[in-house]
Amino acid sequence: MLQIDRWKRILIVGLCLIGLAFAAPNLFYGKVESHNDAVAEIERTGVETPELAAARDAWPDWLPSSVVALGLDLRGGAHLLGEVRVADVHKARMDALWPELRRALADERATLGAVRRVPSPDGTLRIEIENADGMARALEIVRGFSTPVTTLTGAGQQSLAIQQAGNAITIQMSDAEKAATDDRTVQQSVEIIRRRVDEVGTREPTIVRQGADRILIQVPGIGSAEELKALIGTTAKLTFNPVVSTGTNPDARPDIGQVVLPSAEGDGLFYTLEESPVVTGEELTDAMPATDQNGMPAVDFRFNPTGARKFGEYTANNIGQPFAIVLDNEVISAPVIRSAIPGGSGQISGSMDFDEANRLAVLLRAGALPAQLEFLEERTIGPELGQDSIDAGRVSAVIATLAVVAYMTASYGLFGIFASVSVILNVILILSIMSVMGATLTLPGIAGIVLTVGTAVDANVIIYERIREELRAGKRVAKAIADGFNEAMSAIIDANVTSFIAAAVMFFLGSGPVKGFAVTLTIGLVTSVFTALFLTRLMIVWWLEWRKPKDLIL
């Protein structure tokens, strides 16, 4: 029957009103967005300036303030596709292993004789033992540094692949350990990039892994791809290395375990450093922009307890010696240690302005990228192009809606108007749900909404055609309408379930534009079923209760 309980009517109307309320902020997009940004900035900094207060008060706090986030193609911004150089991590692992292995082998000098590292390809550690008779003991020591691989695919395998030929031992990461390390490196890079981008308050960035070693980065609202690269394109790898010597020859040949790096000041100086750092940026707990004793821009930093202990011990034992502060393979500063620094804090100063000091602090707080990014693709989308996309999408949605309304009204008269109201409310509900979810609207997403407008009336068409068949069979108006809804329901559910499955596959397996299309399509399928089976039915019931028609021409 067509009877709808009062509580169901209240629920249907209530959901529609809630949808209208949560979609309404999108009509005042700029004002609401400024309000949200001001609230977030005040909460983050604890400082309320007159400008922030004015932006916050421009939209009442008691009203919904969620808006649909605009994607890169609608707002404009920067697009980067980067490849993580995982081979750098393999090399760093072997370089870091050598000092520990050298100490362990040195303790057996009586058996092994002299031990030295000889040149080898990157990612490989090759050492020679003077006394070949001690090779068995040397191999035993080396194997002690190998650990089981902790991944499921690498179960039962060791982290190091060790080979012996004559009096030489060649060590490198095993294939299973390389695969596990590469996966961790890319995941860590994704998280660090996300932290760096979030630090500067950009809206709705897309940072996802693509393939084995690539990362897609899309940041709406940022000025250019170059600006984005300046934020995330450096590893921000901070180390503190002992200084062996200083010179002006860039082609100086360092000993094994040493490295020659240029000065960041551009003064032609080159520093020969111990390759193994005393302390690294990974042991930093905080970094803030500041000024040095001359009032010039600088960055204050602080180590965690482990880093503070190592930093304090080294400075206490090397008073009078230079100590290089290295950032991304450039020596920022090489001060002479005047006294022990037990507090675990220090300052980086040099030729930088305040913007560069703030950016460096952001990079250091977010952490160092485990490997360098090589950018394979970069693209800047201007805000004008984004606005053109918004205008084009808006026009297409309006034209599609008007065309559907005109067709439905011409075909079904008053019932066509009911269906048109449902379609319009369907679009409003899509926007409200996306606003609450914080979903991002892209140009393909607008296409999904336009498609939903077309498919949303399919359910109404099926219902109305079933009602026509029941009327031709001679049934009374109320009975024909009730049977029409009941007979059409299974076909509507089946059609939307199959579309929902296709949309779900696109969402979970797709990326970028495909996922944006799938989001709006999925939400639209749910809302179209609700508006067709419940809202349209409620409007027809109200009309029947009001007019009580004896005949119906449909």
What is the predicted pLDDT for the residue at 443?
78
CA pair distance 301, 368, nearest whole angstrom: 14
Segment 90-119, tens digit of pLDDT: 888 888 788 888 888 888 887 888 888 888
What is the predicted pLDDT for the residue at 180?
84
Average pLDDT over residues 463-488: 86
What is the predicted pLDDT for the residue at 383?
64
More confident residue, 357 or 378: 378
What is the predicted pLDDT for the residue at 385?
64
Report whether 516 contacts 204 (CB < 8 A): no
The fold of the 238-350 domain, in CATH, is: Gyrase A; domain 2 (3.30.1360)
Segment 479-533, tens digit of pLDDT: 888 888 888 888 888 888 888 888 888 888 776 677 778 888 888 888 988 998 8
Q: Centre a 10 Å sphere on the Cβ of residue 490 and count the other Cβ atoms it contains.
A: 9
What is the predicted pLDDT for the residue at 201?
59
Tokens 């693509």 belong to residue: 210
Tokens 């450096």 belong to residue: 234
Second CATH level (architecture) for the domain 6-26+384-547:
Up-down Bundle (1.20)
Mean pLDDT of the chain: 82
Of residues 101, 89, 103, the one with CA closest to residue 170: 101
What is the predicted pLDDT for the residue at 241?
86
More confident residue, 54 or 202: 54
Segment 376-416, tens digit of pLDDT: 888 887 666 667 767 777 787 788 778 888 888 888 888 88
Segment 13-62, tens digit of pLDDT: 999 999 999 999 988 888 888 888 888 778 877 778 888 888 888 888 88
What 8-state DSSP symbol labels residue 248? S
Of residues 522, 351, 550, the one with CA closest to residue 452: 522
What is the predicted pLDDT for the residue at 470?
86
Quickly state the pLDDT bin for 72 (edges 50, 70, 90).
confident
Report whether 406 contacts 453 (CB < 8 A): no
Write the DSSP string, 37-63. Answer: HHHHHHHHH----HHHHHHHHTS-TTS
The fraction of the chain above a pLDDT of 90, given in percent, is: 6
Q: Centre a 10 Å sphere on the Cβ of residue 13 and count the other Cβ atoms it contains.
A: 12
Q: What's the distance, CA 422 to chain centroid?
A: 36
Task: Indicate if the pLDDT at residue 1 is higher than 60.
Answer: no
Indicate the range of 44-53, 244-253, 350-359, 418-427 predicted with least confidence: 350-359
Helix (H, G, I), strand (E, B) or coil at 187: helix
Task: Indicate if the pLDDT at residue 341 is higher than 80.
Answer: no
What is the predicted pLDDT for the residue at 432?
93
Write the DSSP string, 294-346. Answer: TS-EEEEEEE-HHHHHHHHHHHHH-TTSBEEEEETTEEEE--B--S--TTSEE
What 8-state DSSP symbol labels residue 145? T
What is the predicted pLDDT for the residue at 154?
63
Indicate the range of 351-355, 448-452, 537-541 predicted with least confidence: 351-355
Segment 124-173, tens digit of pLDDT: 889 888 888 888 888 888 888 888 876 666 667 888 888 888 888 888 88
What is the predicted pLDDT for the residue at 56?
86
Task: Indicate if the pLDDT at residue 266 is higher than 90.
Answer: no
CA pair distance 513, 507, nearest whole angstrom: 10
Task: Indicate if the pLDDT at residue 2 is higher than 60.
Answer: yes
Task: Indicate if the pLDDT at residue 293 is higher than 70.
Answer: yes
Task: Indicate if the pLDDT at residue 248 is higher than 90.
Answer: no
